[in-house]
């Protein structure tokens, strides 16, 4: 493979001093994606990238197969409000899923909102939804081009017509209706500078109440804290409609405060129930002044507790353990039919248990296999609920669960153009560098020969207490049809084994995450699944950081690397949009010990000139206002300058797209086609694919 000629990336004399250490930043100019120079650089990079991809013969066939596989009906779990059901459905290749409503499960569904009609290219997405208690009105948030910014509107459920209400500058917020249906609570920021939205940090969120039929300028300020610029607010109205709960978070740390307000007294004060960031507290339900919470307070893997809010100054003494901590990790809890339904993770696989209202075990919900289940929403008086089930070889299927009989029945099952029996998934456990046992799922065609020759794609995330569990993907299926192995490592930093597992991969412990991933790669090689010449690694966002760190620490171990929308400049991540909130996981370069740790692994700062790096396809988007594209731009420029090998190092820059949420199906398929075509080329698997 001959070495490519890359666009010229100019350097500037720019350096910063951190705790006595001078650090050069020669590509600082790429932090402004709107400048003429940056725009010219983006265009030149895309020309090289798409020129390379366009010459890969199998690319069009991959796109055709992806399109064929993607073309199946996809349903969400139905949920009920008032006397109506609601659910999402995608006919197959629609860019955005459509919201339907119906009065009963055997009635004809009616379209309530079709986001595909809001833009020709599908780049306006539904990003938030709240149905009023009587199901007469719907508040909904829209995002354009993948942005985190939302605009909220209100629709009459019966007529399908929008009201005049229009809210702007909403970000990281849902909506929560009062039970009279007259309005809802939401959080917003002050209006940003339009020209610097990617550079501006998101501080000083405020909580408002919007009354239907009034302009946003008249919204009632419920709560703000000018002395706490990092505080952000989530809300819940209790099922009896009596209380507003305010959940205060600071950064992406799972710990939160809990305040409440008696809605029967509009002029009453907001009471601070839990006023210290000691643990996470998520409301399950309430009865009078007894509130049930899912929490990791004094329980790393989670438990259910009851707190009497009538004693706000002494919540610890009123706290009673209802469902104690288990060996499995508690993922979520709902209360319906006067029973707690608790979903757990056992080695990154879902288990579901039932408990009486006093916490007495009341049996299990039998799932259809080993995989991931979610949903289980409902109200305390319900006797039915819906859930989804998926695995690496099981397309997401919707089940109805009858609490009275304890039976699950298929509600919607997709038909996908492949035979699941042709594939197999195994879960293994391997030792990381420090001896920690880490689980990994491995999926591939049956009959795989373990001779070290199999092209393998190793995926990971390892951060922010996010658990990576089995899930079906048409994209990954195409990779396996090519003869590829798909492996997922459940790294520290995630939530698979509770808060202790999360903390073991944060701040000064972040190197554990990279060691876990490198350990997964070495296990796959040692056990003859693959070899360094056939091994690719991939991940997005925090997973993009994972890939960037591992490819710079061990360029010899991988043949290809695909960092997507990654956090790659660990000394300046906190200076853009919501980046400051990640200091809870990464630490801050403003603290000397954390700076030393960040500087030691920051992908941008650990590229060494004259090194042959793996073939690399960096992917980002020009509208990403969460992990701003400057991370990928600067890393690509520095990587191309440092790289000494012949393997291609490219950056693919999507337009009219953001961090990934709400991305149109057409763009998802195009990006997957390019990803697999790139790996087919650089891993030399054409013979397998033909």
Tell me, rounded to whole angstroms, the distance of Cα 185 from its chain centroid.
24
Distance CA 333, CA 487 (A): 29
Residue of 145, 388, 541, 632 with catalytic role: 541
Which residue of the set 502, 574, 623, 659 is catalytic?
A: 659
Q: Computed from CA positions of residues 273, 276, 278, 283, in that sequence, does the dihedral angle turn out positive or negative? A: positive
Q: Among 570, 514, 511, which residue's Cα sits nearest to residue 537?
A: 514
Q: State how beta strands 329-336 and 339-346 pair.
A: antiparallel
Taking the C-alpha atoms of residue 96 and residue 75, their distance in angstroms, rounded to an integer, is: 12
| Pairing of the two strands 535-540 and 560-564 | parallel
Q: How many helices (H) and strands (E) does the chain have?
A: 12, 39
512 with 505: CB under 8 angstroms? yes
In what order do the strands lie in the sheet containing 243-250?
231-237, 243-250, 256-262, 271-274
Pick the closest to residue 357 from 339, 343, 337, 377 (CA basis): 339
Contact status, residue 142 vs residue 129, Cβ threshold 8 Å: no
- 574 annotated active-site: no
Q: Are 296 and 302 in contact (CB under 8 A)?
A: yes
Start-to-end Cα distance in the chain: 20
**How deeply is 250 buried, as exposed, middle or buried, from its count of CB atoms within 10 A (0-12, 13-18, 19+)?**
middle
Q: Give 350's strand partners.
A: 345
CA distance 289 to 272: 14
- Residue ranges of alpha helices (H) inside 346-494 are 474-481
Quickly list DSSP for 212-271: TTS-GGGPEEEE--TT-TTEEEEEEE-TTS-EEEEEEEETT-S-EEEEEEETT-TTPPPE
User: Which of 328, 360, 359, 355 is closest to 344 using CA atoms?
Assistant: 328
**In this structure, what token pair is assigned to residue 29?**
């100019």
The DSSP 8-state label assigned to residue 611 in this structure reads B
Q: Based on the number of CB atoms within 10 Å of its own CB, is 107 exposed (0-12), middle (13-18) or buried (19 or more)? A: exposed
Which DSSP symbol is given to 437? E
Active site residue 659: yes
Distances (CA, A) of 522 to 6, 306, 455, 484, 515: 32, 46, 14, 17, 10
CA distance 485 to 489: 13
**648 backbone φψ class: left, alpha, beta (φ>0; ψ -120 to 50):** beta
Alpha helices, H only, 9-96: 36-54, 59-70
Q: Torsion-angle region of residue 669: left (phi > 0), alpha (psi -120 to 50) or beta? A: alpha
Rounded CA gap, 293 and 282, in Å? 5
Positions annotated as catalytic residues are 541, 659
């Amino acid at each position: 493979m001959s070495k490519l000629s890359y666009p010229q990336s100019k350097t500037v004399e720019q350096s910063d001093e951190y705790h006595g250490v001078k650090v050069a930043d020669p590509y600082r100019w790429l932090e402004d994606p709107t400048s003429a120079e940056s725009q010219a650089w983006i265009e030149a990079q895309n020309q090289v990238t798409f020129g390379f991809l366009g010459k890969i013969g199998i690319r069009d066939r991959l796109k055709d197969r992806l399109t064929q596989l993607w073309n199946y009906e996809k349903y969400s779990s139905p949920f009920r409000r008032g006397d109506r059901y609601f659910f999402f459905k995608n006919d197959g290749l629609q860019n955005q899923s459509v919201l339907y409503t119906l009065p009963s499960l055997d009635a004809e569904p009616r379209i309530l909102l079709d986001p595909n009609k809001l833009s020709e290219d599908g780049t306006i997405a539904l990003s938030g939804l709240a149905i009023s208690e009587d199901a007469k009105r719907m508040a909904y948030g829209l995002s354009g081009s993948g942005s985190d910014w939302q605009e909220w509107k209100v629709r009459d459920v019966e007529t399908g017509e929008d009201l005049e209400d229009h809210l702007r500058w909403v970000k990281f917020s849902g909506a929560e209706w009062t039970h009279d249906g007259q309005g809802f609570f939401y959080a917003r920021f002050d209006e940003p500078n339009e020209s610097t939205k990617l550079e501006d940090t998101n501080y000083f969120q405020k909580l408002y109440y919007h009354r239907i039929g009034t302009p946003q300028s008249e919204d009632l300020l419920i709560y703000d804290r000018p002395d706490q610029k990092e505080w952000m607010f989530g809300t819940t109205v209790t099922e009896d409609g009596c209380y507003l709960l305010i959940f205060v978070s600071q950064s992406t740390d799972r710990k939160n405060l809990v305040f409440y307000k008696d809605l029967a007294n509009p002029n009453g004060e907001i009471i601070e129930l839990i006023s210290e960031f000691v643990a996470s507290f998520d409301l399950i339900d309430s009865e009078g002044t007894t509130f049930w919470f899912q929490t990791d307070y004094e329980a790393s893997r989670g438990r259910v507790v009851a707190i009497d809010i009538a004693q706000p100054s002494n919540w610890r003494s009123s706290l009673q353990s209802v469902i104690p901590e288990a060996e499995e990790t508690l993922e979520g809890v709902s209360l319906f039919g006067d029973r707690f339904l608790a979903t757990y993770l056992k080695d990154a696989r879902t288990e579901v248990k039932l408990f009486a209202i006093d916490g007495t075990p009341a049996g299990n919900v039998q799932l259809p296999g080993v995989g991931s289940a979610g949903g289980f929403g409902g109200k305390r008086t319900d006797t039915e609920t819906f859930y989804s089930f998926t695995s690496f070889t099981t397309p997401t299927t919707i089940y109805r669960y009858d609490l009275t009989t304890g039976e699950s029945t298929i509600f919607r099952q997709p038909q996908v153009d492949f035979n699941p029996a042709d594939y197999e998934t195994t879960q293994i456990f391997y030792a990381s560098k420090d001896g920690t046992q880490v689980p990994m799922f491995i999926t591939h065609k049956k009959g795989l020969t373990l001779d070290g020759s199999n092209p393998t794609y190793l995926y990971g995330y390892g951060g922010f207490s996010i658990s990576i569990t089995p899930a079906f993907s048409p994209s990954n299926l195409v990779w396996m049809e090519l003869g590829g192995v798909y492996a997922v490592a459940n790294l520290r930093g995630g939530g698979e084994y509770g808060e202790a597992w999360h903390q073991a991969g944060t701040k000064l412990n972040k190197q554990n995450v990279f060691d876990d991933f490198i350990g997964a790669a070495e296990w796959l090689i040692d056990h003859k699944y693959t070899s360094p010449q056939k091994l690719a690694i991939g991940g997005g966002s925090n997973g993009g950081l994972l890939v960037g760190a591992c490819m710079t620490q061990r360029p010899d171990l991988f043949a290809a690397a695909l960092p997507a929308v990654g956090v790659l400049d660990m000394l300046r991540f906190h200076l853009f949009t919501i980046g400051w909130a990640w200091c809870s996981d990464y630490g801050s370069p403003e603290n000397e010990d954390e700076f030393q740790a960040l500087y030691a692994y920051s992908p941008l700062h650990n590229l060494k000139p004259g090194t042959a790096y793996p073939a690399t396809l960096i992917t980002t988007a020009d509208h990403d206002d969460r992990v701003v594209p400057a991370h990928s731009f600067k890393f690509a420029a520095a990587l191309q300058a440092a790289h000494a090998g012949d393997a291609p190092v490219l950056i693919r820059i999507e337009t009219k797209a953001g961090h990934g949420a709400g991305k149109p199906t057409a763009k998802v398929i195009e990006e997957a086609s390019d990803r697999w075509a790139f790996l087919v080329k650089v891993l030399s698997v054409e013979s397998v694919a033909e």
